[in-house]
């Protein structure tokens, strides 16, 4: 009978070898199915390992092979439902492939403005990415990329670490990407507002340095231009953080100027929440006085009385497809970079 006294540490291969009275090499042969031990000894070793509660160390396997069956997922803001839903899809797809997902919160500094914040955000992202590599992650999924992060992507290519860009991407970067056509999605929002009779439409976008935010802002502006219009706020509040507070503060300033506005097109749903807060403060009825739109269709957008007009981004599918693309690279696919554009859908609701 195996001594099952409680241990203060994890059972190792050496513990199994000691109880079985064999070498650790024999234990390795038995547990991996390699030749070198008899069938009878193999079964006895496996039984002892099972009774001792032995589980192979992924870290040890990573030391031997140079990679573990895990991938790193770097999130801009783990409290933002957009990113947690991407993570849900990634975890499910990785599990199907026998991989674990190690999630890191890069931090809100990724969405701050200014040169110092840019430098700090780039350094933070690079530090977290390297920590995953040091832990033998087989590849990385990156959601928080800005143009300033190109050196990190170049480093990953140089060191042969597979990486996939999720949702955001660095223009001209030769690595895989999956997301939506943000420019087209924003254009559909403007065209919807135009069909409701709105003509004084303000635009509150995200970060200028974010590819996705820039594409959405351009989509808003191009659709207005095609209708012979321009944003009602051509010189105010067009760029800012992708947060509720940012939407509130920019909308307050916008309304305080007294510029005629009958709609606000927002770069994401969180900004739209802030605009709705400002409308309540100033006594504007939505949508009678001011229509408000978001973009992303986060889980709260259709809850209860909110019913925010927005565009659905298939976040879980982005996570799933990202893992599948990364797995192909891990398995040795060296083909040209793949860009996969997933479908989006306009969701007209009560705020318009």
Structure tokens at 242: 């992708």
Q: Under 8 Å CB-to-CB from 211, ≥6 apart: which residues? A: 145, 146, 147, 168, 169, 170, 171
State the CB neighbour count (10 A cutoff) for residue 327.
21
Structure tokens at 24: 């650790």
Structure tokens at 316: 């879980």
| Residues 300-306: contacts with CB under 8 Å, at least 24 apart | 300/81, 300/269, 301/269, 301/347, 301/349, 302/347, 302/349, 305/350, 306/276, 306/350, 306/351
The pTM of the whole model exceeds 0.75:
yes
Q: Would you say 325 and 139 are in contact if contact means Cβ atoms under 8 Å apart?
A: no
Q: What does the pLDDT look like over 32-46, one tens digit per residue?
A: 777 888 999 999 998
Task: Provide the pLDDT for residue 147.
Answer: 84
Q: Would you say 352 and 192 are in contact if contact means Cβ atoms under 8 Å apart?
A: yes
CATH topology identical between 13-56 and 182-312 = no
Query: Which residues on neighbouring strands pair with residue 204, listed in sequence order?
Result: 266
| C-alpha span between 156 and 23 (Å, rounded) | 39
Supply the CATH classification number for the domain 13-56: 1.10.260.40
Task: Provide the pLDDT for residue 9.
Answer: 62
Task: Provide the pLDDT for residue 110.
Answer: 42
Residue boundaries of the structural domains of the chain: 13-56, 67-180+315-342, 182-312
Low-confidence stretches of the chain (pLDDT < 70) are 1-10, 56-68, 108-119
| Residues 152-156: contacts with CB under 8 Å, at least 24 apart | 152/122, 152/125, 152/126, 155/126, 156/129
Query: Which residues on neighbouring strands pair with residue 140, listed in sequence order?
Result: 72, 163
Instruction: Give me the architecture of the 67-180+315-342 domain, per CATH.
Output: 3-Layer(aba) Sandwich (3.40)
Query: CA nearest 216: which of 251, 242, 248?
Result: 242
Q: What does the pLDDT look like over 163-205, one tens digit per residue?
A: 999 998 888 889 999 999 999 999 999 999 999 999 999 999 9
Task: Provide the pLDDT for residue 61.
Answer: 54
Where is 54: in which H helix or E strand? none
Task: Provide the pLDDT for residue 325.
Answer: 97
Instruction: Give me the architecture of the 182-312 domain, per CATH.
Output: 3-Layer(aba) Sandwich (3.40)
Query: CA nearest 182: which of 319, 295, 347?
Result: 295
Query: CA nearest 196: which of 265, 243, 127, 149?
Result: 265
């Amino acid at each position: 009978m195996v001594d099952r006294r409680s241990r203060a540490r994890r059972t190792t291969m050496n513990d199994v070898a000691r109880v079985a009275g064999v070498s650790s090499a024999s234990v390795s042969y038995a547990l991996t199915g390699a030749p070198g031990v008899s069938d009878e000894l193999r079964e006895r070793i496996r039984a002892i390992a099972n009774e001792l509660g032995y589980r192979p160390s992924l870290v040890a396997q990573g030391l031997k092979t140079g990679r573990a069956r895990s991938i790193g997922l770097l999130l801009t803001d783990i409290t933002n439902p957009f990113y947690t839903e991407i993570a849900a899809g990634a975890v499910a797809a990785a599990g199907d492939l026998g991989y674990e997902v190690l999630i890191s919160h890069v931090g809100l500094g990724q969405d701050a403005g200014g040169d110092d914040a840019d430098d700090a955000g780039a350094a933070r992202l690079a530090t977290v990415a390297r920590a995953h590599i040091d832990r033998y992650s087989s590849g990385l999924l990156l959601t928080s990329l800005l143009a300033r992060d190109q050196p990190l992507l170049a480093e990953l290519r140089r060191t042969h670490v597979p990486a996939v860009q999720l949702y955001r991407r660095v223009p001209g970067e030769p690595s895989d990407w999956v997301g939506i056509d943000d420019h087209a999605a924003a254009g559909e929002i403007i065209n919807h507002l135009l069909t409701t009779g709105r003509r004084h439409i303000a635009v509150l976008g995200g970060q200028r340095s974010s590819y996705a935010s820039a594409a959405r802002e351009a989509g808003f502006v191009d659709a207005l231009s095609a209708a012979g219009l321009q944003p009602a706020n051509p010189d105010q509040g067009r760029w800012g953080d992708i947060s509720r507070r940012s939407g509130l503060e920019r909308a307050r300033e916008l309304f305080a100027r007294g510029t005629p506005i009958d709609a606000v097109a927002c770069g994401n749903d969180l900004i739209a929440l802030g605009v709705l807060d400002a409308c309540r403060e100033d006594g504007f009825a939505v949508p009678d006085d001011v229509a408000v739109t978001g973009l992303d269709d986060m889980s709260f957008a259709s809850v209860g009385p909110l019913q925010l007009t927005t565009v659905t981004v298939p976040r879980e599918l982005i996570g799933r497809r990202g893992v599948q693309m990364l797995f192909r690279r891990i398995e040795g696919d060296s083909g040209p970079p793949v860009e996969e554009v997933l479908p989006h859908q306009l969701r007209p609701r009560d705020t318009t």
